[in-house]
Amino acid sequence: MTRSSLPGRALHVSADGTATTLMTLQRGAVDHEYVAEQRLLVLPMVLDDVTHAYRWAP
């Protein structure tokens, strides 16, 4: 499971509840999506009008 957390971090939360910071996000990162089949983390940046995509697997 991944989730965004203030102040601007993308976290991986393991089954046992341990949170690991994946990256620090700029202001404006919203409504992210992780597509497990493609190991793809998608981060829309609304203030910059761009979308970033990263390959990632736990």
Going from N- to C-terminal start, the domains of the chain cover 2-55
Please write the tens of the pLDDT for every residue from 7-50. Answer: 588 888 999 999 999 888 888 888 889 899 999 999 998 888 99
Global pTM?
0.70
CA distance 2 to 22: 9
CA distance 26 to 14: 24
CA distance 45 to 25: 9
End-to-end CA distance of the chain, in Å? 9
1 pLDDT higher than 80: no
What lies within 8 Å, CB to CB, of 33 at 6+ separation is: 41, 42
Residue type, 23: M
4 pLDDT higher than 60: no
